[in-house]
Amino acid sequence: MLLNVLWAQPNIELELIASGFNAPLSIQNAGDSRLFIVERAGLIKIINPDGSINPVPFLDIDDKVVTPGGVGDEGGLLGLAFHPDYSSNGYFYVHYINNDIDSVISRFSVNTSNPDLADAESESVILNIFQPQPNHNGGDLAFGPEGFLYIAMGDGGSPADSDNNGQRLDTLLGKILRIDVNSDSPYAIPPTNPFVNDGDLNTLGEIWAYGLRNPWRISFDTLNGDLWIADVGQGVSEEINLASAGIGGQNYGWRCYEGSSIFNDTACTISNEITFPIAEYPHIGSSLYRCSITGGYRYRGTNTPGFQGIYFFADYCSDEIGTLQLVGSNWEMNFSSSFGNQGFAGFGQDVMNDLYVAALTTGNIYKIVEGTLNQDENSVQSILIYPNPAHDYFNLIHDQWNPETLDIINIKGQLVERHILGEGPNFQIPTGKLTKGLYIVKVYDTGGTPVIKKLIIR
């Protein structure tokens, strides 16, 4: 008997974890329960497991980082990656645009006496790459499963890639680079890089893949090592590329192609030498204008089984979270409703592989969770409850919201407590009369719209 299985799009909700950041671009973990938030101005801050933010930044290099300004300016501190052996060597790597408007990839060390502080004087410059324009810098960093550092570089920002940097192998622009930071100072080129022995002295051995316009976020599948690359399009479409683990040398097409459509085929190779995206979407054609993809991660955690194997991304302009899932032999793409005026600029994983997203416009950090309990689909959960699990009380913090009533409901669906909330952003709710177990907290605004949280009492 054949059963037709319909894949249901996950019900995506955003749970507010922390707020008040200045243009957050990236979220990383260092192999422990902390989250490290990259701010564009040159700061890295720490969110602790209880949701608190350390008052002193982990790293502050704002004097080294160009101050972003002007339409289309994409400068700032753009990327962060912790060395696979960070717990023993204390090394981490950043990608920033300096005051000369060039890309700098540097290594820093953690403070030997305080794990919440970096040694700002420990900088060792690994690469300095000339940038002809202030945009299309790429900026992401990621360590591959083999321990090499991958660097995402944009095409340099000239209109329509007029210098054809994406296709040229004598420039590091428009590429994914792969270098060995464990060998010669400041780095070595892995001998297995695809263009090391191509016979052309002008070809740069650091190149792992090429034909990219502005790869805005790369990530590795923690299960199989595949490399995901989200590339921002020119004016028609956004694309997602996928490379099997350990396979380099791909030409992803730019400027010959934008997505799978010809853009400028002057002096281009034939199409069977191009690796086309596994998925793409147009800027127009839906009720919302989409314009700039923000790449994310393929979910490999265990806390949300409904997300398993799904690749998450976002569109910066439409404020939608997108999903891509392999159904049979086809990749199926879906979008959430718009979360409105967020400016999703980067994703991250915690040590359990749960997913987070950074909103550049609002300065918020959200955890991506699966909607349950018939809550309004894709609503932004703009409240934070901690501690959770709780004992005698919990704190309620809201973000630009007007909560009026808080209900606590047991697992039988019975209302056990109701609290009338006054004015203010913070409330302390006593729980001493509640027995141990799982509860549902419903917080209603003045219009009667609920935001729902799970609460555990110990």
pLDDT in tens, 21-45: 999 999 999 999 999 999 999 999 9
Sign of the CA dihedral with 363 first, then 364, 368, and 372 last = negative
Q: Spell out the residues 6+ positions from residue 99 whose beta carbon is closer than 8 angstroms to its own.
A: 64, 65, 66
Same domain, 290 and 416: no
Tokens of 26: 């990236």
Contact 118, 59 (CB under 8 A): yes
Instruction: Give the residue-averaged pLDDT of 57-80.
Output: 89
Same domain, 339 and 399: no
Same domain, 291 and 411: no
Is residue 183 included in any domain, yes or no? yes
> How far, in Å, CA of 62 to CA of 159, rounded?
29
What type of residue is 213? Answer: R
Is residue 322 included in any domain, yes or no? yes
DSSP label at residue 157: -
Phi, psi of 431 (to 5 degrees): -130, 15
Same domain, 304 and 419: no
Same domain, 391 and 334: no
- Res 2 pLDDT > 90: no
Is residue 6 included in any domain, yes or no? no
Angle ∠(412,418,423) on CA atoms, nearest 5 = 145
- Res 146 pLDDT > 60: yes
Band (374; pLDDT cuts 50, 70, 90): very low
Contact 57, 45 (CB under 8 A): yes
Average pLDDT, the chain: 91
- Among 130-134, 194-198, 231-235, 285-289, name the one with the lowest average pLDDT: 285-289
The confidence score (pLDDT) of residue 5 equals: 32
Question: Pick the residue with more confidence: 271 or 145?
Answer: 145
Contact 319, 343 (CB under 8 A): yes
Same domain, 354 and 430: no
Band (178; pLDDT cuts 50, 70, 90): very high
CA distances from residue 21 to 36, 43, 45, 60, 84 in whole angstroms, order as listed: 12, 10, 9, 14, 27
CATH at 394: 2.60.40.1220
Q: Containing H/E element for 395?
A: strand 393-398
Reduced to 3 states (helix: H, G, I; strand: E, B; else coil), residue 141 is strand
The confidence score (pLDDT) of residue 8 equals: 47
Same domain, 107 and 207: yes
The confidence score (pLDDT) of residue 376 equals: 44
Same domain, 124 and 249: yes
- Res 202 pLDDT > 70: yes
- From 327, 358, 377, the end of a domain falls on 377
Is residue 36 included in any domain, yes or no? yes
CATH at 224: 2.120.10.30
pLDDT in tens, 397-445: 876 667 888 989 876 667 889 999 988 778 999 999 999 888 888 888 8
> How far, in Å, CA of 289 to CA of 430, rounded?
45
Residue with tokens 């060995």: 180
Structural domain that includes position 431: 384-457
Is residue 2 included in any domain, yes or no? no
Please, which contacts does 319-323 make with residues 24 or more away whose CB atoms are closer than 8 Å? Answer: 319/343, 319/344, 320/288, 320/290, 321/12, 321/14, 321/357, 321/368, 321/378, 322/281, 322/293, 323/9, 323/10, 323/12
Question: Pick the residue with more confidence: 220 or 377?
Answer: 220
> How far, in Å, CA of 355 to CA of 377, rounded?
18
- From 352, 377, 402, the end of a domain falls on 377
Same domain, 315 and 453: no
Q: In 3-state terms, the chain is what percent helix, strand and coil (to 5)?
A: 5, 40, 55
Q: How many independent structural domains does the chain possess?
A: 2
Contact 228, 241 (CB under 8 A): yes
Contact 358, 27 (CB under 8 A): yes
Instruction: Give the residue-averaged pLDDT of 319-330.
Output: 92
CA distances from residue 440 to 40, 169, 405 in whole angstroms, order as listed: 37, 57, 14
Question: Pick the residue with more confidence: 86 or 396?
Answer: 86
Instruction: Give the residue-averaged pLDDT of 159-166.
Output: 94
pLDDT in tens, 236-286: 999 999 999 999 999 999 999 999 999 998 888 777 799 999 999 999 988
Is residue 85 included in any domain, yes or no? yes
Burial 418-452, CB ≥16 within 10 A → b, else e? ebebeeeeebebebeebeeeebbbbbbbeeeebbb
pTM of this structure? 0.82
Contact 310, 330 (CB under 8 A): no
Is residue 131 included in any domain, yes or no? yes
- Res 179 pLDDT > 90: yes
Is residue 389 included in any domain, yes or no? yes
Burial class from Cβ neighbours inside 10 Å (0-12, 13-18, 19+) for residue 342 reads buried
- Go through the chain and tell me how many residues it has: 458
Q: How far is CA 411 from the centre of its chain?
A: 35
DSSP label at residue 90: -
> How far, in Å, CA of 323 to CA of 335, rounded?
6
Q: How far is CA 244 from the centre of its chain?
A: 20
The confidence score (pLDDT) of residue 130 equals: 96
The confidence score (pLDDT) of residue 382 equals: 64
- Among 170-179, 202-211, 346-355, 444-453, name the one with the lowest average pLDDT: 444-453
